[in-house]
Amino acid sequence: MEHANVVLLCILISVISLPSPLTSLPTCEFPAIFNLGDSNSDTGGLSAAFGQAPYPHGITHFHHPAGRFCDGRLLIDFIAEDLGLPYLSAYLDSMASNFSHGSNFATAGSTIRPQNTTRSQSGVSPISLDVQYVQYSDFHSRSPVLRKQGGVFEKLLPMEDSFSRALYTFDIGQNDLTAGYKLNMTTDQVKAYVPDVLHQFSNVVKGIYAQGGRSFWVHNTGPVGCLPYILDIFLITAAQINKYGCANPFNEVAQFFNRRLKDVVFQLRKDLPLAAITYVDVYSLKYSLFTQAKKLGFKDPLIACCGHGGKV
C-alpha cells in the first residue's frame, strides 16, 4: 500500500524544473551519498529483496522497471545528478551495482521504528531504519578491507575518506504514522508515540556521526492526508476533507511529526558540533503540488500512477 505514497510526487517532480538548493552551493563537493529511507528514495532495495516493481514503473525516464516505485526518477536521483554523481545502487541489489560513489539502504515500506508485523500483513518493509543502520555500519567497516584486495573491489567500493566527506540523506517517517492508523489508533495515540520514533531516528544520526559522518540532509515527511491510498482505505468523513481533497487529520499528524523532527534536528546540531545538518521542508513542496495541481497541468492530483489507483 505504501508504494502509492510516492508515485504521484515523482511524476510531478519529473516534469517540473525545480531550483536545487545544492546547485547554489558550488563549494559543496561530495564524493558519495549514503541514503537511508523508504519508497520516497528506494532505488531498488525492496525490488532486490522481494521482486522487481513491475511495469509501468520506470516508464518515463528509464523506459523499463528500475527498482523505483515511480514512473521515473526520485528526489534522490535529482540530488545525485546535481552533485555530478551516478544514481545510487541499492545496497541489497547484487546485479551490476557500483558502490564507489555511495549506496542506498532505503526500501519501500520502511519505518524508523521496527514494526511488530509482516510485509504480507501490512505492507511494511522488514528493513526498518535500525536495520539500514546495521547494513551501513557493516558496509563502512568492510569496504576498506575489501578495497585493499584491489581489482574489482577497488573499482566498485568507495575510498576510505569518502565516508567522512559523503552526504548522508534521510527520507523516512511517514510509514511510522500510517502504521498506527492501520492498527486503528486515534490521531492522539499516533502523536503519543512520535517522540519515541524520533528518538530512534536521532540515535541513528548520532551513530553515523560517531563513524565519521558530518554532512546530513534530512527530509521531513509529506502531506500524508493527500496520499491516494490513505484516501482510499481509511474511513474519512466529508468534514475532514479540505478544499484540495486531502484529509486534514492525517496532514495534521504529519505536521506534528515535522515540528518535532525540526526540534530533534536543532538538538542534534547542539549535540554534534562538527556536523552540518540541513532540515528540508519537503512537506510544503509536496503540498503545493496538490494545491496548485491545475496550474501545473494535472487533472487528477489524487489519483496515483503505475496501477496504484486512488478514490475516483
Distance of CA 87 to the CA centre of its chain: 15
Distances (CA, A) of 288 to 9, 222, 223: 11, 11, 10
Q: What distance in Å separates the CA atoms of residue 73 and residue 211, rounded to the nearest whole number?
A: 30
Question: Does residue 2 have a pLDDT over 70?
Answer: no
Distance in angstroms (rounded) separating the CA atoms of residues 225 and 236: 10
Distance CA(71)–CA(64), nearest Å, equals: 9
Low-confidence winner among 6-20, 78-92, 160-174, 228-242 (lowest mean pLDDT): 6-20
**What average pLDDT does range 197-224 have in this prediction?**
98
- DSSP state letter for 247: B
Residue ranges of E strands in 188-259: 215-219
Give pLDDT, residue 291. Answer: 95
Is the model's pLDDT at 153 over the cut of 50?
yes
Query: E strands of 235-300, at which residues?
Result: 276-280
Supply the pLDDT for residue 301: 87
**For the chain, how long is the longest CA-to-CA vector?**
64
**What is the per-residue pLDDT across 5-49, written as a single tens digit (0 to 9) for each?**
333 334 333 433 344 444 444 457 899 999 999 999 999 999 999
Question: Distance between alpha carbon 198 and the CA centroid of its chain, in Å?
Answer: 15
- The identity of residue 19, as a single letter, is P
The percentage of the chain sitting over the pLDDT mark of 90, rounded to a whole number, equals: 77
Report pLDDT for 27.
57
